[in-house]
Amino acid sequence: MAGAKGSSAATLYLVAYNAASFAGWAYVLAQTAAHLAEHGGSLDGLFGRIGLPLIWVQTGAALEVVHALTGLVRSGAFTVLMQVYSRLLLVWGALYLFDYPEVRASYALVLMVVAWSVTECVRYSHYALTLLDINLSALVYLRYTLFYVLYPAGVSGELLELWAVLPHAAEIHPLLKPFLLANMAGYPPVLYSLYTHMIRQRRKILGGAGTAKEGAATKSKKKL
């Protein structure tokens, strides 16, 4: 999500949206960490603790497609759609539909949720602060660096979750399993597209020399 187009009302809306999204993801991350601290290796009850907040905060990200399509932000609508679609498939097409331990109480779920939560806490806080003309160089650096680890981690968790769903997919519809397999086959090119996009953005925002810190604050308002 890039900056708002002009009006103060749009800016206030986007600040509120990003702040609310940050709060939602921070809650999911905190509850996941608390469950792991309290129960150690047992993941029983984790989904009951984070399931609904996770589903709804991720569903709220669908608004970002609307933001891009209407020109409220300068992000590319197709790039946003690729990011949002796969996650909606996971939360509604896997976690919501299939109440099995290998889906809702797995380390794949933990890997996916932690990767998503950390990514989004950094992303939404960066956007909200940028809209308020508050620029933290450390946050900008994290925004355009953590993806090196978090993108592959999140995708690995997503694919493992979909794999766990496959044996049960026919319970919903006979075509659901081939549909999920087709989506899984599409992951490598989509990951490559998103990954290289972020690498290009990192080069533009952070640069490569000592001027990176000086330019990061200004450039971060103009790029995803």
Kindly name the residue from 141, 151, 187, 195 that is annotated as catalytic. Answer: 151
Q: Among 29-38, 66-75, 146-155, which is the least confidently predicted range?
A: 66-75
Of the pLDDT bands very low, low, confident and very high (cuts 50, 70, 90), residue 190 is confident
pLDDT tens-place string over residues 32-60: 999 999 998 899 999 999 999 999 999 99
Looking at the structure of the chain, the number of domains it has is 1
Of the pLDDT bands very low, low, confident and very high (cuts 50, 70, 90), residue 6 is low
- Does a structural domain hold residue 2? no
Handedness of CA 162, 164, 165, 169 (dihedral sign): positive
Which domain, by its residues, includes 195?
8-219
Residue 24 in this model has a pLDDT that exceeds 70? yes
- Does a structural domain hold residue 102? yes
**Is 158 labeled as catalytic in the residue annotation?**
yes
- Does a structural domain hold residue 202? yes
- Does a structural domain hold residue 1? no
Helix segments in 40-143, DSSP class H: 46-59, 63-69, 77-90, 101-104, 107-131, 137-143
Q: Give one word for 6, left, alpha or beta, with left for phi > 0 and alpha for psi -120 to 50.
A: left
- Does a structural domain hold residue 28? yes
pLDDT number for residue 40: 83
For residue 139, give the nearest of 154, 153, 151, 128 by alpha carbon.
Answer: 128
- What's the Cα-to-Cα distance from 106 to each of 86, 111, 112, rounded to whole Å? 19, 9, 10
Residue 216 in this model has a pLDDT that exceeds 90? no
pLDDT tens-place string over residues 9-23: 999 999 999 999 999
**Is 214 labeled as catalytic in the residue annotation?**
no
**CB 48 within 8 Å of CB 101:** no
Kindly name the residue from 64, 120, 158, 161 that is annotated as catalytic. Answer: 158
105 vs 86: CA distance, rounded Å: 20
